[in-house]
Structure 1
Amino acid sequence: MKTSIYHITFFDANKSLYIQFHNCNFRCLGCIRRLGIWDSHLSREIRDILMSFYRDVESVYLSIDALRSIALYTKDFLDARIAILGGGEPTADKMFREVVEILNGIDMEIRVLTNGYNLDRYIDILGDVDAYIVLSIKSIDRDKHLFYTGRDLDTILKNFVEVYRRGLRISIETIDIPGFNDPSDIEKLAMYISSIDPSIELIIDSYIPVPQTPWGRPSETEMLEAGKRARKYLKNVYLRGLEISKPIGNILLIHPPLPLKVSPCNK
């Protein structure tokens, strides 16, 4: 049986595999995949080739055995140590449990980038493998969250609390979206997180405009204001793009293979 894993890249700076799942159980209005489904850290040349050659993404879905082979290869020859599961939504894959077991079985550190909606189904195995959870909360306002994602917020907050109660490592991500999820909204999210544990890390991303949405990119001043407000309640707040930089080093395309002779190495 195949997974919905369609794309894997390797970052030599921290020896990590970024494993992307195609399926998702949300329909986020500002989803970055509207701009492209291939890793944005790869060169434009490589992404254009992938986009033109692999129009049928399901044709490159990996089987469990193929994933195991790729993971073992990267561990043996590239010294891969970390498997970052993203997408899409990793927990929307029916083979998610098997994927986690395979990666843990070859001593990979596992990090899961998730919207949190299905976390209750997998808390047991994620706890068993000591996975690190990065939970994205698009808005702490229930109506806004439903509007933006098509899913209710209460399920996610319930799962967040349960993950924390079980002792799993967890960080929260949110997005500074001017006029929608702005500094005042992010402050309310920080207040909520602090009510659980003020030491929980909050990462604030800068919204990247996508077609057919009314929102623009926040200014540096707006991002700094969001960080300032969040730090009134939380000890660990980081602004992606300002305080968290893009990966440095080589980025290798692992899957799918390039159909043409183009170097998969990016600086």
Structure 2
Amino acid sequence: MRKDMTISNLKYQADSTPCGDKADMQTNVYHVAYAPAIKKAYLFHWGCNLECKGCLCKKEINCMALEENLDVVFRDPRFCPPQTPSATLSFGKLVSLLENIELTEVAFEGQEASLDPMLPDICRWLKDRGCKVILHTNGVAMADASHIDDVIVSLKAITPELYAGYTCRSNASLLDNFRKYYESGVNLKAESVYIPGYIGLEETEKIAKFIASVDTNIPYRMDAYFASGDNPWRPPTPEEMQIALAVARKHLKNVYCTQQTKKDLSKADLLYEVVRLY
């Protein structure tokens, strides 16, 4: 697959793949991105069971690695009008789209993929094709993990009041489901967003301790907060992220962070090119 592929030569043929009686059933997938170099697709789902104050979708609903979105982190959220998808894909059209590319790995992203009624069917089809399946989830609802390889759970906060204040929901089912995913045998990972003065060092240590209570080997990723939504918080400095890493590493063996500090990214800064399929 050439790196200089374009959207036009990757468009799906709408009726090329039969999917039985479920072909016309609607998925929650509204956007599909693809990295040809690593043969990985990213399926973005619409609809969520949380109302997170710092949700990325308040700023941008499509893949951040697309060339037109490399400035997302530094966009002023005051000038980001609300976005909603124009359409979602039927199961048949999604299968037709994915059949036309070389594919070894698929990640479910966007809002909350576990709410997609077609998620088990999508996962089953992907596994039948030999793909690795990765679910990004807030963990509030328990997904059928029988055809999922990796589950990455966004813990957000452990303190009940802090979690409820950030998401408008209780985290009781999340903490229970995190343990259930671990017991199911999937490759479980955790993540959270570091927000100085809000979800800061004290809460980060609570998150790390909770993960460690399940297994100290579970990987934990901290994402540096960047402005999204109407919030008073500031992004952390690189030094603050290093301190947060040290706190989490007191309890866990595999902790790392992500933070974009360069304002003017270009395609040359990316490890691999990502293109839009839908």
For Structure 1 versus Structure 2, the TM-score category normalised by the shorter chain is 0.7 to 0.9
Q: 2:123–2:148: 8 Å Cα contact kept in structure 1?
A: no
| Structure 2 residue 247 is matched with structure 1 residue 229 | yes
* Corresponding residue of 1:261: none
Superposition RMSD on alpha carbons, in Å?
Answer: 2.0
* Corresponding residue of 2:46: 22
* Corresponding residue of 1:264: none
Q: 1:116–1:159: 8 Å Cα contact kept in structure 2?
A: yes
Please, which of 3, 8, 11 is the counterpart of residue 35 of structure 2?
A: 11
| Structure 2 residue 138 is matched with structure 1 residue 110 | no
* Corresponding residue of 2:193: 175
Letter in 2 for 1:137: L
- Structure 1 residues 163-217: Cα deviation after superposition (integer angstroms, max 9, x where no partner): 1112211000011011111122111111111111101100000001123111110
* Corresponding residue of 1:140: 158
* Corresponding residue of 2:216: 198
For the residues of structure 2 that align with 1:238 and 1:151, how far apart are their CA atoms? 27
* Corresponding residue of 2:172: 154
- Structure 1 residues 24-45: Cα deviation after superposition (integer angstroms, max 9, x where no partner): 1111000011112121211228
* Corresponding residue of 1:97: 120
Q: 1:183–1:223: 8 Å Cα contact kept in structure 2?
A: no
CA shift for structure 1 position 130: 4.5
Q: TM-score, normalised by structure 1?
A: 0.83
Letter in 1 for 2:128: G
| Identity, % of aligned positions | 27
For the residues of structure 2 that align with 1:140 and 1:118, how far apart are their CA atoms? 17
CA shift for structure 1 position 46: 10
For the residues of structure 1 that align with 2:154 and 2:219, how far apart are their CA atoms? 12
* Corresponding residue of 1:68: 95
For the residues of structure 1 that align with 2:86 and 2:195, how far apart are their CA atoms? 32
Please, which of 72, 79, 85 is the counterpart of residue 57 of structure 1?
A: 85
Please, which of 231, 235, 241 is the counterpart of residue 213 of structure 1?
A: 231
User: Residue 47 and residue 18 in structure 1: after superposition, are their counterparts in 2 closer, same or farther (change >3 A)?
Assistant: farther
Q: 1:11–1:17: 8 Å Cα contact kept in structure 2?
A: yes
Structure 1: which 5+ residue stretches go unaligned?
Answer: 49-54, 256-267
- Structure 1 residues 38-69: Cα deviation after superposition (integer angstroms, max 9, x where no partner): 21211228999xxxxxx76243x110011111
Letter in 2 for 1:236: N
Q: 1:72–1:106: 8 Å Cα contact kept in structure 2?
A: no
For the residues of structure 1 that align with 2:70 and 2:228, how far apart are their CA atoms? 21
User: Residue 118 and residue 211 in structure 1: after superposition, are their counterparts in 2 closer, same or farther (change >3 A)?
Assistant: closer
CA shift for structure 1 position 236: 0.2
Q: 1:109–1:131: 8 Å Cα contact kept in structure 2?
A: yes
For the residues of structure 2 that align with 1:106 and 1:240, how far apart are their CA atoms? 31
* Corresponding residue of 1:259: none
CA shift for structure 1 position 131: 1.8
Secondary structure of 2:277 counterpart = strand
In terms of fraction of residues, the more helix-rich structure is 1
Q: 2:120–2:147: 8 Å Cα contact kept in structure 1?
A: no
Q: 1:21–1:93: 8 Å Cα contact kept in structure 2?
A: yes
| Structure 2 residue 62 is matched with structure 1 residue 38 | yes
- Structure 1 residues 108-163: Cα deviation after superposition (integer angstroms, max 9, x where no partner): 110000001111x52xxx2x324200000111111111111122111001001111
Q: 1:38–1:47: 8 Å Cα contact kept in structure 2?
A: no
Secondary structure of 2:207 counterpart = helix
Q: 2:107–2:135: 8 Å Cα contact kept in structure 1?
A: yes
Q: TM-score, normalised by structure 2?
A: 0.80
User: Residue 172 and residue 46 in structure 1: after superposition, are their counterparts in 2 closer, same or farther (change >3 A)?
Assistant: closer
